[in-house]
């Protein structure tokens, strides 16, 4: 947990320096501007409840090439702008109808979300899916989530009737089977203090932190009957350098047809860490392939690596 906080602080520091020095506005050959991670942190702090460029457009119309609207589900301690200022405009520029939203707000923060009870957050996702289906007339949606955003939809799919409404479900560094936080939860158990720490999380209105720990009652209940259910196509994209979801293999799912991708198997020199995944060009290429042609022989271009955070 300490390392996670340090990385969050580092991102804020990077954004502050970028703002002071005049940060790049990102890339845009046409259409919506694709933001950088430093720009996204700045914009996420200033406009946490605004969608990123290309998202939530009332004028978007589904096409035969892209018949499913894409809903992006942000991570813990994030918001829709902070998490998706690269992927949302990239997808919109590729012709997708893209939607973002915030979930898991508690009294702990009015800027950073994904902190509340995960089952309740899944209810927020259910409402978002129903709204998008109603607005677009689509038969199903595609879900792409980062970290908790790649875990929480499992609850919606399994327990809230989401399975028939989801076509593709892509988890980016998801906390699927919990995290040891680099072994800190194991140490806490050995010292007999983990329950006390989790009580503090509850008192601080941060229940999702304890729920994402290895062996939590939430994790145990969620996957008691298996990792997947019939219906959605499941994909997981993970980095071997994840220091938030540890061990990194806990991100992966087991089940028929699940596609588990380790970024370094594609691009060995990509140093991207957990936080930088949503701004890693290799990850974004994988998402586009899965949502689009889903070519099993796809090989991304090894460039534009995300930060090693």
Per-residue pLDDT of the chain (309 residues; tens, 9 = 90+): 444 444 443 444 343 333 333 333 466 445 999 999 999 999 999 999 999 999 999 999 999 999 999 999 999 999 999 999 999 999 999 999 999 999 999 988 899 999 999 999 999 999 999 999 999 999 999 999 999 999 999 999 999 999 999 999 999 999 999 998 743 334 333 334 345 454 545 546 689 999 999 999 999 999 999 999 999 999 999 999 999 999 999 999 999 989 999 999 999 999 999 999 999 999 999 999 999 999 999 999 999 999 988
Q: Which two tokens stand for residue 213?
A: 């720990």
* 308 and 273 Cβ atoms separated by less than 8 Å: yes
Q: What is the pLDDT of residue 139?
A: 97
CA distance 262 to 79: 25
What class does CATH assign to 46-291?
alpha beta
Q: What is the pLDDT of residue 309?
A: 86
CA distance 279 to 85: 8
Closest CA to 93 of 16, 138, 29: 29
Q: What is the pLDDT of residue 82?
A: 98
- pTM, 2 dp: 0.88
Domain boundaries, the chain: 46-291
């Amino acid at each position: 947990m300490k390392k996670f906080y340090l990385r969050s602080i580092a991102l804020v520091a990077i954004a502050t320096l970028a703002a002071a020095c005049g940060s790049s506005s990102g890339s845009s050959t046409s259409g919506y501007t694709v933001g950088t991670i430093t720009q996204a942190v700045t914009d996420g702090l200033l406009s946490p409840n605004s969608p990123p460029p290309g998202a939530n457009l009332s004028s978007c119309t589904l096409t035969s090439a892209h018949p499913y609207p894409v809903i992006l589900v942000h991570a813990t301690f994030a918001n829709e702008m902070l998490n998706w200022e690269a992927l949302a405009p990239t997808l919109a520029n590729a012709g997708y109808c893209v939607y973002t939203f915030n979930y898991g707000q508690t009294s702990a923060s009015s800027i950073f979300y994904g902190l509340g009870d995960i089952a309740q957050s899944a209810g927020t996702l259910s409402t978002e899916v129903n709204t998008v289906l109603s607005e677009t007339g689509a038969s199903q949606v595609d879900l792409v989530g980062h970290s908790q955003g790649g875990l929480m939809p499992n609850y919606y799919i399994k327990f809230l009737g989401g399975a028939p409404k989801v076509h593709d479900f892509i988890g980016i560094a998801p906390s699927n089977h919990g995290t040891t936080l680099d072994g800190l939860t194991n140490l806490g158990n050995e010292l007999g203090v983990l329950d006390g720490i989790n009580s503090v999380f509850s008192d601080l209105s941060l229940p999702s932190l304890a729920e994402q720990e290895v062996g939590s009652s939430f994790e145990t209940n969620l996957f008691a009957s298996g990792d997947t259910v019939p219906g959605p196509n499941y994909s997981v994209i993970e980095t071997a350098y994840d220091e938030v979801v540890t061990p990194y293999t806990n991100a992966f799912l087991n089940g028929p047809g699940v596609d588990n991708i380790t970024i370094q198997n594609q691009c060995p020199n990509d140093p991207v860490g957990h936080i930088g995944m949503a701004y890693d060009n290799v990850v974004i290429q994988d998402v586009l392939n899965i949502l689009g042609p889903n070519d099993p022989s796809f090989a991304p271009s090894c460039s534009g690596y995300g930060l090693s955070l």
